[in-house]
Amino acid sequence: MRNRILLVAVVLVALAAFAQQNNNSSSSGTAGSPAAQSAGDREPIPSPRPKDFWDGDDPNFVNLIAHPMASKKYVQRHVTPIRDRINELDQITSENSRMIKDVDARSQQGLQLASEKTSLADQHASDAANKAQLAQTSANQASARVSSAEQMVGSLDQYKGSAQTEIRFRPGDTVLSKTAKEALDEMAAPLKDQHGYLIEVRGFSPGQGQAAIRSSQKMADSVVRYLVLTHNIPVYRIYVMSVGNPIVSAGAKHATAARVEVNVLKNDLVSSAK
């Protein structure tokens, strides 16, 4: 019986030695191959398969019988690389999560800043639109005023006759009669504090040539003097023309009467503007 046990032990030792030799030769061939040299920076988790038959155990008879029964060292030897890799993955995950939160915070800050700038740009655009509308309104008002002024300037010389009075004189006389003064008073009274009017005074006198013109000038001067001194009519509003005797100048046989025609001309546009 003892001889049989020893024989079995010798056979097992021989098989173990043969298996260790095969594992060593396969490990050396794998380590020298190009595939092993081109591995990544991070080493892979060690294979759960043992490097040799003993897998770190002493090659003795007790371990030969008990191997590969699970033990605390055996379990730790296989679990430790996995736990280290899990810890490494947890660290990478935590770092990635921190980076994601940092990127998200910067993105939110950038979005908030962009939103504030957009709101500010909208406000500036609204202010610019209001100012443009106000400028357009002012331009329209200015254009209307310019148009009105142009119309007024174009109508400054457009006067219309509003009243006409004829003052008669006796031949050779240049003094105003009571009736003539009453007629001038009635004509000049409405002109007090008025604007935009002119008074045209034209003198006619019988006779011929320069004598008739001088006589008509004296009669017209009497009318102008009365209007200026009695009714305070500005001199620049009175235009005087000494016609003389136009009928005789034209070759007619009848002589004109001694008279002065007074015409009041008004500019309605200037009067309404005032």
Q: What is the pLDDT of residues 15-52, one digit of tens each?
A: 655 555 555 554 444 444 444 444 445 565 555 555 55
Q: How do residues 145-181 score in pLDDT, each as one tens digit? A: 888 777 766 655 667 777 789 999 988 888 999 999 9
Which tops the pLDDT comparison, 159 or 141?
Answer: 141
Q: Residue 63 is encoded by which pair of tokens?
A: 């371990």
The pLDDT value recorded for residue 37 is 44
pLDDT score for 137: 92
What are the structural domains of the chain? 160-273 (3.30.1330.60)
pTM equals 0.44
Residue whose tokens read 């260790």: 20
Once rounded to an integer, what is the mean pLDDT over residues 103-120?
A: 90
pLDDT of residue 200: 93
User: Is 79 or 234 the better-scoring residue by pLDDT?
Assistant: 234
Looking at the predicted structure, is the pLDDT value of residue 214 above 80? Answer: yes
